[in-house]
Structure 1
Amino acid sequence: MKFTALATASMLTLSFLLCGMTARAASPSDLAEPHLKSGDDKAKKQDNEGAIADYSKAIEIDPSSATAFTRRAKAWQAMRDYDRAITDYARAVELAPGKAENHFLIGFCHLNKEEHAAAIPSLTKAAQLDPGNAPVYMLRGMCRSRTNDKAGALEDYTRFIELNPKLKTWGYLSRGGIKASMDDLPGALADCNKAIELDASQYLAYQRRADIHFCLGKNAEAERDLRQSLQLAKPEEALYPHLHLFALQARLGDPASGRDLRDFWNDHHKIFGDQAPPVSIIQFLLGRLSEQDLLAAAKATNPQKNDGQHCEAWFLAGMKHLASGDKQQAVDCLEKAVATHADMAAEHAMARAELARLETLK
């Protein structure tokens, strides 16, 4: 009996000691978990600063946690602090290199910073790790198009169309834009037709198709599509359809050119604030801004954006001169639009088409 009691006491003591050892030996991952959960709760409530504080505590406890770095990166990203987000995603990649999501999100952050070339390697790695992830191809297609890799962009948009039936409309519109920039206007038109067939409620699909009709010299079809685009667009979406309608009316010598734009602007100008360059373009077209001030407003620090904005400005300046009967000044402006080399802009293709049309009229 004494031996049994002693053995029992010894077992209880050993069990107690083992429990104590287990508690003392809790892993950093276990200790960090409450901070991760607290951070997640705050992130759901859009308290990103609070979430970052909790994730930072988790990282302090467990600096090997790829999860903690990823979640903190997402909080930085939600606050549009893309540099810190990229740094944390990169650390997560070091800790868990096989996770496609972190590579994808590094690319996404670079894209938001308009660092298109920098985004491509991360998006390519994401595609290698998860080849069935459709958004990777859409984002990489965007980046490739902005770095003038048109063949690569065409391939990516085609892959996106294959992988994402629900969003095929946007794939066709994106691919159509690439085809238009490559002067494959029939191919671009076919893609726009397909996009409208899939979803006839998208104002942008009609605007894009109108731009292609403009380039093909199909003026009636272009006007019909622009009118349909304006019917579908919300006021904040209707600015470019109105600008392109102005360009078409200027081509046709329509006395209404400027009237539709003026009526729209008088009704909705407060929506746009002082956005440049679209607002400055409208002010110029309505005679409220000089051409010199228009071009100054088109300047941007990003070279590609700078080219695109100047292309828009020169194209629409040219069409305004055309509307006023000054063909030579119109040609000069259109040639400057083409000289920007912003050939991914719809206005670049439209300027080339208008120059070719004016050449035939000589």
Structure 2
Amino acid sequence: MSEMIEKWIKEGVKHCENAKFEEGVKCFNKALEKEPNHTTGLHNRARALSRIGQLEAALADFEKLTQLFPTHASFIGDYAVALHLNDKNELALVHFEKALQLEPTNPYRYSSRAFFKDRTGDLEGAISDYEKAVEMDPEDAIALNNKGLVEEKLGYKDQAKQSFDRSNSLVGYDPTKTNPLPKTENKAPKFTPTKPTNRWEVMKSVFTKDGFKDFAKFTKGLLNGKKD
């Protein structure tokens, strides 16, 4: 039975890697019917459900994961994002803070909280958290870019330009050229300073170079320009 469960999960992940998230969910459902607390199955199903906009169902899976693993910062951080996207901001803040307390030296945790603060109107607080993230990881191009976005909102044009210039330099992006490409594939992808147009863009913006590594693998290709 365990071999069949692993087979379903593997198939589900493969579907998701090919952007067939609904098919992925079906596979994860089969596995979780047999083993309801399977960690990998729950986490991947939660991610896939988020990807297709079934946020309440995703929230339930993330919540279960945090109950099973109350000190797992990644599960708690994902749960915080899902809570925020479901307009449960007070509870979301509690979990962003908890994830940061569990991993106080992880710059991704500061970027996560910065994302939340930006989305809920605490722009100065968001800048402060992004600055902390960049201080801990000076090569985090996404945090620099997102910091520039917030600075732009506040009218801090000089600071925003500096943030964007540093981010562009890290990814090898030259805004004066047509169809620029990163110099190397292992650099963080460039997120241009535009307002997110859908929930996936919102979720994507929170994940920094290190924190998003596993999620990027799960959604192979989606960060490099493929459409929903």
Q: Give the alignment's TM-score, normalised by structure 2.
A: 0.75
Which residue does 1:260 correspond to in 2?
Answer: 163
Deviations 1:270-321 (A, max 9, x none): 5xxxxxxxx5xxx44xxx257xx69xx9xxxxxxxxxxx9xx65xx24xxxx
Give the aligned CA root-mean-square deviation in angstroms.
Answer: 2.9
Which residue does 2:133 correspond to in 1?
Answer: 229
Is residue 2:13 matched to residue 1:121? Answer: no
Which residue does 2:222 correspond to in 1?
Answer: none
Q: Give the alignment's TM-score, normalised by structure 1.
A: 0.49
Shift in CA distance, 182/345, structure 1 to aligned 2, threshold 3 Å = farther
> Where is the helix percentage greater, Structure 1 or Structure 2?
1
Q: Give the % identical residues.
A: 15
Structure-2 separation of matches of 1:261 and 1:121: 41
Which residue does 2:148 correspond to in 1?
Answer: 246
Structure-1 separation of matches of 2:63 and 2:2: 28
Which residue does 2:77 correspond to in 1?
Answer: 173
Structure-1 separation of matches of 2:130 and 2:42: 29
Q: Which runs of 5 or more residues in structure 2 are unaligned?
A: 182-188, 207-228
Which residue does 1:205 correspond to in 2?
Answer: 109
Q: Which runs of 5 or more residues in structure 1 are unaligned?
A: 1-95, 271-278, 298-308, 318-333, 351-362
Which residue does 1:187 correspond to in 2?
Answer: 91
* Matched residue SS, 2:61: helix
Q: Is the Cα contact below 8 Å between 2:111 and 2:133 reproduced in 1?
A: yes
- Which of residues 128, 132, 137 is equivalent to 2:42? 137
Q: Work out which structure has the larger RCO, using CA pairs closer than 8 Å and 6 or more positions apart in sequence.
A: 2
* Matched residue SS, 2:142: helix
Q: Is the Cα contact below 8 Å between 1:98 and 1:129 reproduced in 2?
A: no
The aligned length equals 197
Q: Is the Cα contact below 8 Å between 1:178 and 1:344 reproduced in 2?
A: no
* Matched residue SS, 2:160: coil
Shift in CA distance, 252/109, structure 1 to aligned 2, threshold 3 Å = same
* Matched residue SS, 1:257: helix
* Matched residue SS, 2:50: helix
Structure-1 separation of matches of 2:171 and 2:32: 43
Is residue 2:171 matched to residue 1:269? Answer: yes
Q: Is the Cα contact below 8 Å between 2:81 and 2:203 reproduced in 1?
A: no
Shift in CA distance, 264/247, structure 1 to aligned 2, threshold 3 Å = closer
Shift in CA distance, 256/137, structure 1 to aligned 2, threshold 3 Å = same
Give the residue type in structure 2 aligned to 1:241.
A
Q: Is the Cα contact below 8 Å between 2:146 and 2:205 reproduced in 1?
A: no
Higher radius of gyration, 1 or 2: 1
Is residue 2:60 matched to residue 1:155? Answer: yes
